[in-house]
């Protein structure tokens, strides 16, 4: 008998959650935290290009490349048993053309991801369709698109005017038609996110887009309180871990300086016989 494949959250599981059960999504970038998030029952782990900011220390997500993303994806995939893993395609990995987009999407799947995410609406629908046709599930991402917003107008609320709200609905529908299994709505006015959620059949995942979305996503380091360079209004800190980490490292450093670490319990010894021989030889 074949061993049963691990029970993973699938595209069809997510589809059937729309309107019934909210979808919990978090970012993850490494094995140890992926393992914890998976154990907590997070449905989707997004290996976000936000790693460029919170892990690599860049001022935006723009500098992150494929090689870096694939390393994070491999680590997260080894930690997640149940959660679906979505790889965030970095800036430059899908802009050059459809075949480049397919090649890089396939690299994410080979690297352990179950799906990929691309920023953009109607203008990238052809690339989304091509990736889906190649057999790779795609998550859309509209509203605030950090990869390009950082180069143009900065990180601002989207869908503030009736015109831009209508465009968001059209973008969502274009992505749905192109075959996405889900759409991230980032920093979209709550009223607009609600309408988009009603108008598409696939689940919407909100970040800073109000409670009307089918699911929610946050950056793990924001939720844990260990990324302090910025605090968007939509972030809720479920813990303030910067402080306890600082305290632990302070105490460790004090102990090292004072010669109080390591203690006997953390120290290894030779056997008495070998120690005797060692001392004898050393005497000479």
Ligand X SMILES: Nc1nc(=O)c2c([nH]1)NC[C@@H]1CN(c3ccc(C(=O)N[C@@H](CCC(=O)O)C(=O)O)cc3)CN21
Ligand Y SMILES: CC(C)C(=O)C(=O)O
Binding stretches for ligand Y (CB under 6 A): 27, 46, 48-50, 88, 184, 186, 207, 217, 219
Q: 117: annotated binding-site residue? A: yes
26 binds ligand X (CB under 6 A): no
Q: 10: annotated binding-site residue? A: no
Pick 120 or 146: Cβ nearer ligand X: 146
21: left (phi over 0), alpha (psi -120 to 50) or beta: beta
Residues in Cβ contact with 189 at an 8 Å cutoff, skipping those fewer than 6 apart: 157, 158, 159, 160, 165, 209, 210
What is the DSSP pairing of strand 182-186 with strand 84-88? unpaired
Q: 119: annotated binding-site residue? A: yes
Q: Is 186 a catalytic residue?
A: yes
| Residue listed under structure tokens 């005497």 | 283
53 binds ligand X (CB under 6 A): yes
Pick 27 or 77: Cβ nearer ligand Y: 27
- 62 near 150, Cβ under 8 Å? yes
Phi and psi at residue 89, to the nearest 5°: -70, 125
> Quick one: what does residue 217 bind among ligand X, Mg ion, ligand Y, none, with the CB cut-off 5 to 8 Å set by partner type?
ligand Y
Q: How many residues bind ligand X (CB under 6 A)?
A: 18
114 binds Mg ion (CB under 5 A): no
Q: What is the CA radius of gyration of the chain?
A: 23
Helix, strand, coil tally for the chain in percent (to 5): 45, 15, 40
Considering only residues 185 to 214 of the shown chain, the ones binding ligand X according to CB under 6 A are 187
Burial class (CB in 10 A: 0-12, 13-18, 19+), 118: buried
- 176 near 201, Cβ under 8 Å? yes
Pick 36 or 246: Cβ nearer ligand Y: 36
d(CA 223, CA 239): 7
The token duo for 105 is: 């999407």
With CB under 5 A as the contact rule, the residue among 14, 38, 48, 204 that binds Mg ion is 48
Question: Per the residue annotation, which of 103, 153, 186, 191 is the catalytic one?
Answer: 186
236 binds ligand X (CB under 6 A): no
What is the DSSP pairing of strand 204-207 with strand 115-117? unpaired
Q: 43: annotated binding-site residue? A: no
With CB under 5 A as the contact rule, the residue among 9, 23, 26, 49 that binds Mg ion is 49
With CB under 6 A as the contact rule, the residue among 38, 47, 61, 93 that binds ligand X is 61
142 binds ligand X (CB under 6 A): no
| Residue listed under structure tokens 């109080």 | 260
Q: 214: annotated binding-site residue? A: no
Query: Which residues bind to Mg ion, rule: CB under 5 A?
Result: 48-49, 88
User: Which residue ranges are tagged as binding site for Mg(2+)?
Assistant: 49, 88, 119
Q: Which residues are catalytic?
A: 186
Query: Which residues bind to ligand X, rule: CB under 6 A?
Result: 50, 53-54, 61, 144, 146, 155-157, 187, 219, 221-222, 227, 230, 232-234
């Amino acid at each position: 008998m074949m061993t049963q494949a691990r029970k993973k959250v699938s595209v069809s599981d997510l589809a059937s959650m729309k309107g019934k059960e909210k979808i919990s999504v978090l970012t993850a970038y490494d094995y140890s935290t992926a393992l914890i998030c998976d154990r907590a029952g997070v449905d989707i782990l997004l290996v976000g290009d936000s790693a460029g900011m919170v892990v690599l220390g860049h001022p935006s997500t723009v500098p992150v490349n494929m090689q870096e993303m694939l390393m994070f994806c491999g680590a997260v995939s080894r930690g997640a048993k149940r959660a679906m893993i979505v790889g965030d395609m970095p800036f430059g990995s899908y802009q050059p053309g459809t075949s480049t987009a397919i090649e890089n999407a396939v690299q994410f799947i080979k690297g352990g991801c179950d799906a990929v995410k691309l920023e953009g609406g109607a203008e990238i629908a052809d690339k989304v369709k091509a990736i889906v046709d190649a057999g790779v599930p795609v998550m859309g991402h509209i509203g605030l698109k950090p990869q390009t917003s950082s180069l143009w107008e900065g990180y601002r609320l989207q869908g503030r005017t009736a015109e831009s709200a209508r465009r968001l609905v059209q973008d969502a529908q274009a992505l749905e038609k192109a075959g996405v299994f889900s759409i991230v709505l980032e920093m979209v006015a709550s009223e607009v996110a609600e309408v988009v959620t009603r108008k598409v059949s696939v689940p919407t995942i909100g970040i800073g887009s109000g409670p009307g979305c089918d699911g929610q996503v946050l950056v793990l380091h924001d939720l844990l309180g260990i990324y302090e360079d910025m605090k968007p209004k939509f972030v809720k800190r479920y813990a303030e871990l910067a402080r306890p980490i600082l305290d632990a490292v302070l105490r460790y450093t004090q102990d090292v300086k004072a010669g109080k670490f390591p203690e006997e319990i953390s120290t290894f010894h030779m056997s008495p016989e070998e120690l005797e021989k060692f001392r004898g030889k050393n005497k000479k």
